[in-house]
A and B are shown apart, each in its own frame.
Chain A
Amino acid sequence: MQVSREEILHIANLADLNLKEEEIDTYLLHLQEILNFANIVNNAPIEKLGETIGVSEKVNAFRKDEIKEFKDKESLLQNAPEEEEHMFHIPKVI
């Protein structure tokens, strides 16, 4: 499949990434090369085969619904890029 400039910019936007003007061509070239290579999956004999999303045989992993308090709030907040009065600081949203 041929990827256009508009498409790669759309995909980058979906992924919350900026591509600089001078980067676009390189990303486009690499993506096209990888997709050309990946196209081989369309030749695989997979008719009637189901999809495997994981290899674990489990369907569900249950545990008791118990509250376990994580007391070390400081260790979480120390990683905040910006913090104010024990809260994560973010720019105005509304």
Chain B
Amino acid sequence: MEIYELTVQELKEKLDKKEITSKEIFESYQARIQEKEKDIKAFVSLNDPKEIKENSIPIGIKDNINIKGTKTTCSSKMLENFVSPYSATVIEKLENENIISIGKLNMDEFAMGASTEYSYFQKTRNPWNLNRVPGGSSGGSAAAVASNMVPWALGSDTGGSIRQPASFCGVVGLKPTYGLVSRYGLVAFASSLDQIGPITKDVRDCAMLLNIISGHDEKDSTSAEKEKKDYMKNLEKDVKGLKIGLPKQYMGEGIHQEVKEKILEVAKKYEEMGAIVEECEFNCSEYALATYYIIACAEASSNLGRFDGIRYGYRAKEFSNLKELYKNSRSEGFGAEVKRRIILGTYVLSSGYYDAYYKKALQVRTLVKKEFERLFKTYDILLTPTAPSTAFEIGTKSNNPLEMYLADLCTVSINIAGLPAISVPCGIDSKGLPVGMQLIGKAFDEETILNAAYQYEKIEKFREKFRPEFKEK
């Protein structure tokens, strides 16, 4: 077995036994990047560490997380030449553990998209079928982990941007509870929804990475003051008696038949393991997607106001006054989808429409929260598909924004309520593409979804059975 095929847990064990060195690990991944990157195009920039310390492990970082002294582009022309003056808290935490970035990973511009096609630089391709998208917006992170170009990666998730690409690429992705991981140093998209989280080869690595990046940070005022947990501790527990709700509304219209069938198989396997699975009602699913796009775009239109061509970022060459400098810089620096969302966000916040859209959306947000609270009185976790379909073909949705938004159908309500959710591969469809299942937990109860995910992964053995072919099909 090649070094790049090992999980981080396996790498650590071999490092501890001195069977391999960190230098060999870095070299193995760098050689793998040389081999596969031309097909996958997952990286925006590569980092060749000058010195590799003992027990050091590489990682890939989504290009909206700042690492001091290196470029953070958000895959936008606006930030093409931006060099971070400081590091994100998650990066400092990783560096304290000798976990070092070997490259920044491609994404939809400013994390707005579900296919990574909205990157200014390149379209990342899905390792399972090079004609298909890797999902998004953390498509570079998921594709890099799936093709073994990095052992693990960080992504960010505002409405599904970790879980949906993890599902499309057959890897594990976790969106932590809002406030569990510091957002300091993450370029803001929608501040009340954004969270950084792990994308990994398996559930154990996911728990390990969450152990490292979680915890209170005074630099993020929304960071939760909770006691630090060990997410590895409960993985081995059995799931006997665990109550799992299967919301009907996420198994109905809009969900592909093969995806539904896989989720029902998962439910059956959980029952065989002793869990109790029951169909349940999630009564506000039809409002969640619209609510998400209203809130996310409203926040984005405000957050992206900072890109004005003055202190950093792209500045237009031609302008005759200050207002023109702002307008020309923003119009030339942002791509079409980002402008679309800024316009939508500005519209729903503007006088005359605020009450009809934004205020209503905030009230629906209360409704969604309450609906989850109601379900979690009965169930320990909820099971849904991660995405309505498997990976779609490149170019099929990029000119139809509304259709692209539907790819987030099963994931957005979790961000609206601030809950944790994990995507775990649960098989492949008839086209040979991975299907992902999503487990949703109570706030700050990552332990239970990680435990349930790990127990499922042990019997499904996805990584042993299936691997990407790197072919155009």
Contact = CB atoms under 8 A, between A and B. Distances in A.
Interface string A21-49: 00000010011011101111111111001
A14 B402 contact: no
Interface size, A (range):
35 or more
Contacts of B255: none
B314 A81 contact: yes
B193 to A, nearest CB: 9
B357 A41 contact: yes
A49 to B, nearest CB: 5
Interface in B312-335: 312-315, 319, 321-323, 325-328, 330-331, 334
A67 interface: no
B233 interface: no
A49 B310 contact: no
A90 B343 contact: no
B362 A52 contact: yes
Interface stretch (B148-156, B198-206, B364-372, B386-394): B364-372
Nearest to A64: B218
Contact of B369 (A27, A30, A52, A61): A52
B401 A51 contact: no
Q: State the main secondary structure of chain B at its contact with A.
A: helix
Contacts of A93: 322
Contacts of B81: 79
B293 A38 contact: yes
B361 interface: yes
Nearest to A38: B290
Given A11-B350, A79-B312, A1 B286 contact: no
A94 B309 CA distance: 18
Interface string A58-85: 1001010000001010011011111000
B55 interface: no
A33 B343 contact: no
B363 to A, nearest CB: 4
Given A15-B346, A33-B402, A40-B286, A76 B85 contact: yes
A11 B342 CA distance: 9
A53 B192 contact: yes
Given A56-B178, A90-B310, A49 B363 contact: yes
A2 interface: no
A6 interface: no
B353 interface: yes
A30 B337 CA distance: 10
Given A55-B178, A81-B315, 8 more contacts: A15-B301, A30-B402, A31-B347, A34-B401, A46-B363, A46-B364, A81-B314, A91-B325
Pairs of residues from A and B, 9 with the lowest C-beta to C-beta distance, nearest first: A55-B418, A81-B315, A51-B362, A79-B312, A75-B85, A61-B221, A46-B363, A52-B365, A54-B192
Interface of B: 68-69, 81-83, 85-86, 178-179, 192, 218, 221-224, 284, 286-287, 290-291, 293-294, 301, 305, 308-315, 319, 321-323, 325-328, 330-331, 334, 339-340, 342-344, 346-348, 350, 353, 356-357, 359-367, 369-370, 401-402, 405, 417-418, 443
